[in-house]
Chain A
Amino acid sequence: MSERKISSKLLLQKQQLDYYLDLNKARYNGRKVAWASSIVPQEFMEVMNIAVAYPENHSAAIAARKGALPYIDQAEKMGYSSDICSYARINLAYAGMKTNEMPPLPKPDFVVCTNNICNVLIKWYESLAQHYKVPFFLIDVPFNHESCGINEETTTFNPVPQDRIDYVKAQFEEFIQFLEGICGKKFDYEKFNEVMAISNRTAKAWSKAMNYASMAPTPLDGFNMFNYMAMMVCLRGKKESAMLYELIAAEMEENIQEGKSQFPGEQKYRVMWDGIACWPYLKHNYTNMLKNGVVISGSTYPKAWEIVYEVGNMDELASIYAGIGNNRNLADQRDIRAAIQRSCQCDGVIYHMNRSCKVMDFMQPEMRRQISEITKTPFVSFDGDQSDPKNFSEAQFETRVDALVENMQGNKEGSV
């Protein structure tokens, strides 16, 4: 059958364009604009028809286009230490300078963040609020230092303790009032249920599609997750993004039937990639791994974005946002990774020691030690940065991948 179909790749591009177009038209359509952190409870803003910009996503896009340096220099001139997370530096510089960067981010009417990935966001958004002279709402999710455990079967974290749920729920209520004040209209609880239903559909579609990476051989190229993620950040309250991930899942089914894969090389080794991509060197990293027959089969991302809850259940909504992986204690983060490595049949692990991201880095050495004791899987780590091109060495990356390959090869030969 030769019916004309749009590919997921094209659909993703189209959605990205539409998203930024819509964002930039928002003000002219009488809509409020927010700047928000990636894993914010967007549901509330979607109900209020607020256009939401995501600076992390924007900084990543600038870095992926190899355009970060001018911003990085500017941030330093503004007094921001080069030690600070490069997403924040790029964005604060972007906010503070005249630039023709495409796509543009319209000025915010307010900024909002959830510190479920890091506390850097709090400081970053304080600065944004001050710069734009707009209100800042923080949905504070306390670090879960208590072990909550994980569900091995579903590779998901158990809910967070009730005191955290109650605290976050109370903030949701304040957030609703805050939004009502900003928008000058009442919060529509019926629409809220609709948005929650759509967000769930998107999250399930995402998770289903990304889980194809765990099949052996995999029909999905794990590296593509980094790109697919963009719409999970920007559009997960919209039907369109559900459709995108449903399309990807359908393509994977086709691949399986035809014995094909997105990964263009031989799948010799399956690895887990731990950490954010090195956006300025995405192509380098990819080419190097491809050359070695190394395919990403596991990552924390599929689960991080599986933001699924019972529609209307505020306890679950609070728990899922408060319980993001970065906000878990070391034992739970270790266990989820070990489970992912098992279910994705990883032969090895590549850890990104990301110069930008203290919250991930400073638990990493102990965590990778403990994980390798559990899984007996070899690992390497490399020094990089998700968006500052100065903090990465191609040679080091290549040597580390070579070393991992050697180890994985040794294991395979040893097991025959």
Chain B
Amino acid sequence: MSRVDELLKQMIDVTENIGLVVSEKKRAGKKVVGVLPIYAPEELVHAAGMFPVGCWGGAADISMATKYLPPFACSIMQSVMEYAERGVYKDLDALLVSTPCDTLKAISQNLIYACPDQKIIILTYPQNNKMEAGVTFAKSEFAKVKAQLEAIAGTIISDQAINESIEIYNDHRRALMEFSEIIANNPGVISAVNRHYVIKSGFYMEKLEHTKLVRELSELLKEKTNNWTGKKIVFAGIMAEPNGLLEIFDEFQLAVVGDELAQESRQFRTLVPEGSDPLERLARQWQNREACSVILDSEKKRAKHIATLAKAKQADGVVFCQMKFCDPEEFDYPSIKKACEDAEIPLLHLEIDQLSDSAGQYRTRIQAFHELLGN
């Protein structure tokens, strides 16, 4: 097995065995906190000496989630509620949930009753994130989160500890930014499926460790020569899953050279700025975030951002992965379509249903898109 394959294997293993990751942490005496999409001040969990684990849904047959949700809730939250009700989260000490969309407001509440043994920590980010009053408010919410985490961890979280965690997280973000840059410059050097594993595995590993693996992998990939003859695409949306979908892109030689997915780049593209007061730093990071479907975007910068990203990465097309029943994304679509048309970038709209494993429905559409991009 090559070193690249070894590194990938480690990342795939954790991503495919989240339950195992959690139980090992618990056995080692660590407390574990589930972190729901899209944003959360995860640094605080880390600073409390606890292990944050991403809760991004997954494939599931929905039966028990119907206790809480009608069928028209986004598929990711359907599976979160299904898992919650089935006891998948039973080893977690707490769940950390922000409420940037209406669905998450409701999910934050339903989890209280579906997971009575877990502490549900909720925060609301200010939508007016550019205003100074928004920064003050974000700090106040973070302080409340911090107090609740302290109660669970049974320790006080010092400013120094948070500042140290911020450095670790920022470095992790940098490593992922470098990684995606290397892939963009060397398209096809890694499959779409593996690119996704590399990024996603960060939710299930200690950040220091993940940073190390990603950096090593990046170095190796940089060295690889690869004369790409296929086409290049960028992904937009909440997430590009399941694997079956990504495999079709690999099959048609469509290399992913960039993304603005909530699960990928939106997680790491904004660093926490310098400063001494750690909660203020986290609040300023929130202030700096933009071009996102769940943060006030009064000038619809996101649409332009996607077109610009595609141009900058010299992509041949944009694939908009519409999470089924996600209204913040549905609202953005017409403006994204227009921005891509204006920039003369072909756009493919795919509906993502995390619950269904069958990717067959996508093949014809992706094939047609591939043909549209020319050979």
Contact = CB atoms under 8 A, between A and B. Distances in A.
Interface of A: 78-81, 83-85, 88, 115, 118-120, 122-124, 126-127, 129-130, 135-136, 138, 140, 142-143, 145, 163-164, 166-167, 170-171, 174, 329-330, 353, 355, 358-359, 361-363, 365-366, 370
Interface stretch (B27-35, B125-133, B240-248, B306-314): B125-133
Contact of B137 (A80, A142, A353): A142
A126 B297 contact: yes
Given A120-B327, A163-B140, A79 B334 contact: yes
B368 interface: no
B296 A365 contact: no
A362 B73 contact: yes
A167 B100 contact: no
B137 A163 contact: yes
Interface string B293-307: 100111110000000
B62 interface: no
Contacts of B369: none
Interface of B: 67-70, 72-73, 99-103, 105-110, 112-113, 122-128, 131-134, 136-137, 140-141, 293, 296-300, 322, 325, 327-328, 330-335, 337
Contacts of A366: 67-68, 109-110, 113
B337 to A, nearest CB: 6
Contacts of A330: 109-110, 112-113
B296 A80 contact: no
Given A138-B298, A365-B67, A130 B325 contact: no
A124 B112 CA distance: 30
A123 B337 CA distance: 16
Contacts of B335: 127, 130
B64 to A, nearest CB: 12
B122 to A, nearest CB: 4
A161 to B, nearest CB: 9
Nearest to B114: A366
Given A115-B127, A167-B126, A170-B133, A85 B69 contact: no
A164 B331 contact: no
Contacts of A361: 70, 72, 106
Nearest to B74: A358
Contact of A358 (B99, B296, B327): B327
Contacts of A363: 105-106, 109-110
A361 B132 CA distance: 33
B131 A122 contact: no
Given A143-B105, A365-B67, A124 B72 contact: no
B102 A118 contact: yes
Contact of A123 (B103, B125, B136, B332): B332
Contacts of A138: 127-128, 296, 298
A363 B110 CA distance: 7
A407 to B, nearest CB: 21
Contacts of B69: 362, 365
Contacts of A85: 327
B103 A358 contact: yes
A221 B285 CA distance: 52
22 contacts: A81-B330, A81-B333, A83-B325, A115-B127, A120-B331, A123-B332, A138-B298, A140-B128, A145-B105, A170-B132, A171-B131, A171-B133, A174-B133, A330-B113, A359-B105, A359-B106, A361-B106, A362-B110, A363-B110, A365-B67, A365-B70, A366-B113
Contact of B68 (A127, A129, A170, A362): A362
Contacts of B112: 330
Contacts of A136: 298
Given A138-B296, A362-B68, A363-B110, A166 B133 contact: yes
Contacts of B137: 142, 163-164, 166-167
Contact of B298 (A115, A120, A126, A355): A126
B280 to A, nearest CB: 15
Contact of B330 (A84, A140, A164): A84
A143 B105 CA distance: 7
Contacts of B330: 80-81, 83-84
A365 B65 CA distance: 11
A15 to B, nearest CB: 32
B331 A84 contact: yes
Nearest to B69: A362
Contacts of A171: 128, 131, 133
Nearest to B107: A362
A120 B327 CA distance: 8
A140 B333 CA distance: 23
Contacts of B325: 83
A130 B140 CA distance: 32
A123 B331 contact: yes
Contacts of B109: 145, 329-330, 363, 366
Given A83-B325, A140-B127, A166-B133, A119 B140 contact: no
